[in-house]
Structures are given as structure tokens and as C-alpha cells.
Amino acid sequence: MARSMKSSATSKTSLFRRDLPALSTNVGGENRVAASEIMVDVVIPVHDVTRPTKRAVESVLAGTPAGAVRVLIVCHNIDPEGIEAQLAEYVHDSSVTVVSFADGIKSPAGPFNHGLTLATAPYVSIMGSDDFLEPGAMAAWIAHVNVSRPDAALVPLRHQHGELLMNPLTRWRRSRRLDPVRDRLFYRTAPLGLLRLAVVRELGLEFTAGMPVGKDMAFSARLWAAGKRIDYLVRTPAYIIGADAVTRVTTQPRPISEAMAAVLDLVARDWFTGLTTSARRSLVTKLLRIHVLGAVITRSRAESWGPGDTDALRSSAREIVMRAPGALAPLSRADRSLLDAVIDIGSSAVSLADAVERHRTSSRLNRIVPRNPLRLFDRESNLTRFVLYRLNR
């Protein structure tokens, strides 16, 4: 890394850009290109020196053209010396830079946003310090954007244990110029891939400050709905979601009020109210299915509910439904019954645990067919989703 730069949350962005290395170092006989020729800036926040940051960096740089990628390690509320020690072999390699960022907030939003302000390459990518790329991934992604120049290139996601995530669940064989509604882009909450930096700044995209979870929800939804060119590099090597860290910030159990904060923030934004009816309905269906019903199903026992959780979920669900009542139509009978239990003014931890059990044991028919059978073939119905899962495998 060419230099370690230290800053605070209130430091001026221009100072950091002036301090960034020019990336013209000759390393190991390879000629590094000038900063203006860097294709991708990869932002990796780190809040714990025990994270496998070196693995992430090596997976990004392996096999990529010399000088095409710059990795920006943002040390969040920690001394950068420990991270620098991990990356000591890159000390003379200007493709890796460590910066320090302190805001005292336990949310990755701040360091992600800080990294984006430092980016200068045509494309920017974000990455978790626990995660890594399959061999050849970054080189394949760069090859695509070099030719096609999309505004966003979404990449395949795979869990470390091997499961490939079918997300987004696009139309059959559709991979370029995706539509946010017809290709179900709103289900892709994490904007993982390559994003055109000019578009990020044009739309004013930022991770939601102070959010322990869901900090990327508004960022991605705004981008998918903005009418930009979005490609899905489904046949390229994948981004691997690491599973070997002791803890992950985004998977820790939280009170319902915290879990729903990012959802309520999203539907209250001015641009959300300006969405087309179909886009608003598609997004709200996703929020109900994944975030509201997901919160109930993961609390299948009465003791799983904390003080105030049932009231917080009830009010959140009602607020979300109000934004697009038509979003209820594609949900299956089983899902609608569970949602009814959530919204019921008399709901309690015990009644919701019972509702989750009824949902778990509901018939296949009730888990597939909506209350209005005419909506069975809706693009958001469970039947349509199951068919696309099979076709896109």
C-alpha cells in the first residue's frame, strides 16, 4: 500500500483525494498504469483486525490486469496498524491503500460512504472484509464493463458453503438491460458488483447513516428504479459471502424496531412516492415478503419476541402496506394469513408463534395460490417464482 491515511468522520473529501497515491509504481517488473487508467475502485471497510481482510484483497487482485484495480481499505474506528501488518507484502504496491475513518458509530454505512468519496475510477465496487471472490471474478467483470459499459453490473452471489443465490430472479435467460419490475431487481438488496461512479454521484446514492442493518436498502432500490442500464453477469465467477468470521454485523438478532428502521426509512423517501405504481407495488411486495414475514418466521417461539416487538412489527407492516395496498395480491394464502396475524391489533408473542406454526404446516396449495386465484400467474406470485427458479438453474 502506498500510504496509510488517517482521517475523522468530519475530514474534507478533497484532502483525501489529493493524498491518494498516483498508482505509477513499478512492482515486480510490472508497469502500473496511471491513476486515470484505473478501472475499478474496491471499497472494503474493516472494523476488526481479526477479519480475513488479506483474503479479500488477494481475491480481488488475483488475475486482474496490472493497475486496473485499486483496493481502498477503510479502517473503521480501529487503529490501521493491525491491518497494515496483515498487508505488509503490499507495502510497495500502490494498488492497495489503507485509510482510517472514525465516527464512533457501529454501522458500516459510514466507512462505505467514506470509501465512495475517495473513489475516482470509472467503476466502484463494495465488499465485506469477511467476503472474497472466486478466481478470475474481477477480471471477468472488468472484461464485461470494458465492452458493454453498463451503469451497474450485478454479479453472482454464492455462500461460502457452496449455495448459489438466485438473486435477482430475472426473466428466463435475461441478463442485460434488466427491468426493475419484470426482473425482480428489488430483491437484490446488496449492490454487489461494479457500479458506474458517475451514476452513483448523479443519483446521490449513499448508504443510510447509522443503520446497523439495511444500510444498503435505499441505495440499491433507488439505483434499480432509476432507469439506468443494469446487467447481470450470471455466467461469471461469483462473489463469495464469507461464513467463517466469528460474527457478522448484519446477521445478529436485533429488536424489531431496529430491523424495520431501514424499511420505514425507504418508504418515507421522496423518490419512493415518485415511483410508478408497478415499481412501488413490486418493491412493497418484496418488503412484506422478505422483511416483515421474514421477521415473524425467524421468531417462531413466543420467547423470541422482545418487549415492544409485536407492536413495532404491527405498526411497520401497516405503514408498508399503506404505501401500495395492491402489493398484497400476489402473496399466497398462507403468507396473507400470517400477515393478517401480524397486523391484528390483538396479536401477541404467543399468537404470532402459533401463526408461524400454522404457516409452517400449511398445505402446498395454500403456500402457492393467492386468495384471488387469478393472481396465480402474477410475476410476484410464488408459482411464478418457483418456475423461474427451475428455469434459471
pLDDT score, position 98: 93
- CA–CA–CA angle 390, 135, 249 (5° rounding): 75
Q: Domain boundaries in the chain?
A: 4-250, 253-391
Residue in the block written with cell 415478503: 289
Where do we find the cell 416487538?
309
The domain 4-250: what is its CATH number? 3.90.550.10
- For the CA atoms of the chain, what is the radius of gyration? 22
**Residues found in the chain:** 393
**Contact call for residues 1 and 94 (beta carbons, < 8 A):** yes
Distances (CA, A) of 253 to 266, 286, 300, 361: 21, 21, 13, 25
Residue 151 C-alpha from the chain's centroid: 16
Cβ–Cβ < 8 Å for 246, 154:
no
pLDDT number for residue 4: 42
Q: What is the pLDDT of residues 301-314, one digit of tens each?
A: 999 999 999 999 99
Residue found under cell 463469495 = 240
What pLDDT is attached to residue 13? 31
Cα distances (Å, whole numbers) of residue 175 to 43, 234, 363, 380: 25, 7, 34, 19
What are the cell numbers at 180?
426493475
Residues of the chain falling short of pLDDT 50: 1-36, 248-251
Task: Give the DSSP H/E element, type plus range, for residue 368.
Answer: helix 364-368
